[in-house]
Amino acid sequence: MDYNKLLENIHQAILPYAQEGKAADYIPELAKVDPDQFGMCIHTIYGEVGAIEQADTRFSIQSISKVFALAMCLSIEGDNLWKKVGKEPSGTAFNSLVQLEVEHGIPRNPFINAGAIVMADILYSHLEHPHEDFLRFVHEISGEESICYNKQVALSEREKGYLNAAIANLLKYHGTIENDIEDVLHFYFMMCSIEMSCRELSKAFLVFANHRKKFDYAGITLTSSQVKRMNAIMQTCGFYDEAGEFSYLVGLPGKSGVGGGIVAIYPLQYAVAVWSPRLNSRGNSVMGIKALELLTTETQSSIF
Ligand code: GLN
């Protein structure tokens, strides 16, 4: 299959939506990004690649980093992880506080902010050098050593991160996190600030698509069954209160971030990343969802 052609056709078809939505501006540094950018890249497990437009431009991966954090936490904690965080879809916004209070400080799933802050705490406790070790894991699964944090983005998010600070305080009150709140939040914001391109993201996520291959990167090991279960969580929780809609439209496990990136995988077939900063009201990329909807429709390759 000519993947470049396929992606180009998809891009042409979704151009009418190019001005829909609004880039995230609650993180001041993200408001500086040109919202009219678009990139897309697909990697198949057979080594085929398709890449168009700004597939090589790095952007803030934000919540997509939660998938990397989950891989590390599952490797470290195994099933004990599920004592501190659930695995049910939340049906609420990524930064919602409501359920967390009602459910006594146990986040619904690892992909809402509360769940990811708990994972940041776990990694902070278990890793010798949390910041370096997390980045090394990302380097190994993507095969790209130059990927790094954007400290400016992380600091700018901390400055305005009132909701995440409230979440961290609630978690601390309930005893779900053990480290100092500032240390945990700083690490969480740093993870979110990592910058990667669509090419790098789709290559990195191929390891989750290809669950039959041994998962062993930077000392982080997962069984095939654990990788499959990560995909299950991406399917049910990857898009917050739009997880059902994404499942309906696209039909693949995936994860979005407020930087405008979305990564999706078709198990044992491919991983695809798309980036366009304009978001819908749920914080997911408008063009990103459209592109993936067309991809799975054109290639008849959703998991359903
Ligand atoms: N860093 C962002 C936040 O905590 C991540 C949210 C997202 O990408 N959905 O608000």
Q: Which two tokens stand for residue 146?
A: 């130059």
Task: Name the residue with the closest Cα to ligand 1, atom 3.
Answer: 113
Give the number of other Cβ atoms within 10 Å of residue 242's Cβ. Answer: 21
pLDDT in tens, the chain (304 residues): 999 999 999 999 999 999 999 999 999 999 999 999 999 999 999 999 999 999 999 999 999 999 999 999 999 999 999 999 999 999 888 888 999 999 999 999 999 999 999 999 999 999 999 999 999 999 999 999 999 999 999 999 999 999 999 999 999 999 999 999 999 999 999 999 999 999 999 999 999 999 999 999 999 999 999 999 999 999 999 998 999 999 999 999 999 999 999 999 999 999 999 999 999 999 999 999 999 999 999 999 999 9
Q: How far is the CA of 116 from the centre of ligand 1 (A)?
A: 10
Residue 242 Cβ inside 6 Å of ligand 1? The answer reads no
Q: Which atom of ligand 1 is nearest to the CA of 192?
A: 1
**Phi and psi dihedrals of 145, rounded to 5?**
-75, -15
Q: Which two tokens stand for residue 276?
A: 């366009």
Residue 62 Cβ inside 6 Å of ligand 1? The answer reads yes
Residue 121 Cβ inside 6 Å of ligand 1? The answer reads no
| Closest alpha carbon to 3 in 280, 258, 199 | 199
Q: How far is the CA of 169 from the centre of ligand 1 (A)?
A: 17
- CATH dotted code for 3-299: 3.40.710.10
Give the number of other Cβ atoms within 10 Å of residue 77's Cβ. Answer: 17
Q: How far is the CA of 139 from the centre of ligand 1 (A)?
A: 21
Give the integer Cα–Cα distance in Å for 133 and 123.
9
Residue 64 identity: I
